[in-house]
């Protein structure tokens, strides 16, 4: 591009405080004209009209308002939306693609801590660490710990990965050095591609029957809503572990509660349906459930990875190069 484009930030300050620090803003200013470094939280606030009118690049983050037809009408020069976070489905609309606006997401960067959390959860759950920690705290004495819980081991366990998403692929890669048998279910892949990821391709029902640990990495789509319903959860072997760092809507919550309250399976849940669970949910207290409040994604210093990717994308846009992490309309119906 002949001149530096005008960049405007749009995100919820409470959710993104410190995301763009002095060093990040300095690099953004090297690439773009930044008339106001304070992000827009709403497109109807007093500053918005003047900023949107000039905006050529919209740098977005968590809590960005929807880019509907009204917002786009107020931004006639807008050419790119670069999201310094994961999914763009909360703010990007089809109207953006109809306008020919380029869309980029830092989902690949956000996948890294999610995959790291998942692999840690798989290894700890396989050793029954979550159950044993609670049991040790309760008895405060010696026990034959291998007899206190079902098979506290990871050796030659079967791990079933549902979904070859960015996170799913990275989980498979990180699990490669361990002594696991890896299964993969993803109807969008052919068997050769699945094997190339180091996993045996199987149908979902077979994966659930054979796996010691099942980890979910499918996108939240109409066809994946309650993907694990009562029938499919019943396919899990006794003592199996379900790990969900994807979306709570992938699992029927009533059926899941029933299985967990019965103690038949264990679960590591970073996401739930609903989110947040009601205060009287049994999942808060069950010894076979390790529950965290949607923290697998980028937090703290991990957020710097998101901004670095976004700034790299802006640099490519400024130089007129292809975006490495572009979101395209043809992929819309199968991405998270």
Domains in the chain with CATH codes: 7-105+300-334 (3.40.50.720), 110-291 (3.40.50.720)
Residues 6+ apart with CB under 8 A from 136: 143, 145
> Could you tell me the pTM of the whole model?
0.95
Sign, CA torsion 67/72/74/80: positive
Which residues are identified as catalytic? 247, 273, 294
26 burial level (CB within 10 Å; 0-12, 13-18, 19+): exposed
Contacts 24+ apart (CB under 8 A), 282-289: 282/257, 283/257, 286/260, 286/261, 287/131, 287/134, 287/135, 288/130, 288/131, 288/260, 288/263, 289/260
Ordered per-residue pLDDT tens for the chain, 336 residues: 448 999 999 999 988 988 999 999 999 999 999 999 999 999 999 999 999 999 999 999 999 999 999 999 999 999 999 999 999 999 999 999 999 999 999 999 999 999 999 999 999 999 999 999 999 999 999 999 999 999 999 999 999 999 999 999 999 999 999 999 999 999 999 999 999 999 999 999 999 999 999 999 999 999 999 999 999 999 999 999 999 999 999 999 999 999 999 999 999 999 999 999 999 999 999 999 999 999 999 999 999 999 999 999 999 999 999 999 999 999 898 888
CB atoms under 10 Å from CB of 223, counted, come to: 10
Contact between residue 61 and residue 28 where contact means Cβ atoms under 8 Å apart: no
Contact between residue 68 and residue 90 where contact means Cβ atoms under 8 Å apart: no
- Compute the residue count for the chain: 336
Contact between residue 235 and residue 203 where contact means Cβ atoms under 8 Å apart: no
pLDDT confidence of residue 1: 46
């Amino acid at each position: 591009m002949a001149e530096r484009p005008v960049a405007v930030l749009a995100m919820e300050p409470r959710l993104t405080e410190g995301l763009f620090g002095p060093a990040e803003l300095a690099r953004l200013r090297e690439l773009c004209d930044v008339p106001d470094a304070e992000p827009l939280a709403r497109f109807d606030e007093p500053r918005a009209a003047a900023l949107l009118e000039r905006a050529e690049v919209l740098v977005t983050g968590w809590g960005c308002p929807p880019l509907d037809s009204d917002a786009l009408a107020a931004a006639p020069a807008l050419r790119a939306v670069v999201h310094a976070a994961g999914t763009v489905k909360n703010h990007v609309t089809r109207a953006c693609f109809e306008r020919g606006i380029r869309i980029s997401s830092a989902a690949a960067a956000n996948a890294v801590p999610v995959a790291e959390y998942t692999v840690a959860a798989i290894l700890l759950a396989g050793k029954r660490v979550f159950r044993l920690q609670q049991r040790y705290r309760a008895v405060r004495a010696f026990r034959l710990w291998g007899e206190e819980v079902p098979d506290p081991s990871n050796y030659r366990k079967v791990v079933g990965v549902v979904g070859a998403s960015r996170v799913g692929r990275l989980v498979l890669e990180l699990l490669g050095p361990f002594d696991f048998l890896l299964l993969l279910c993803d109807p969008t892949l052919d068997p050769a591609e699945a094997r190339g990821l180091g996993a045996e391709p199987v149908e979902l029902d077979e994966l659930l029957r054979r796996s010691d640990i099942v980890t979910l990495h499918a996108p939240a789509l109409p066809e994946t809503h309650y993907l694990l319903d009562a029938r499919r959860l019943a396919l899990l072997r006794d003592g199996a572990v379900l790990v969900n760092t994807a979306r709570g809507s992938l699992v029927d919550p009533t059926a899941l509660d029933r299985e967990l309250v019965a103690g038949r399976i264990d679960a590591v849940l970073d996401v739930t349906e609903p989110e947040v669970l009601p205060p009287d949910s049994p999942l808060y207290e069950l010894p076979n459930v390790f529950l965290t409040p949607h923290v697998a994604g980028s937090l703290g210093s991990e957020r710097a990875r998101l901004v670095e990717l976004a700034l790299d994308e802006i640099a490519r846009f400024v130089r007129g190069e292809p975006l490495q992490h572009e979101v395209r309309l043809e992929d819309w119906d199968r991405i998270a």
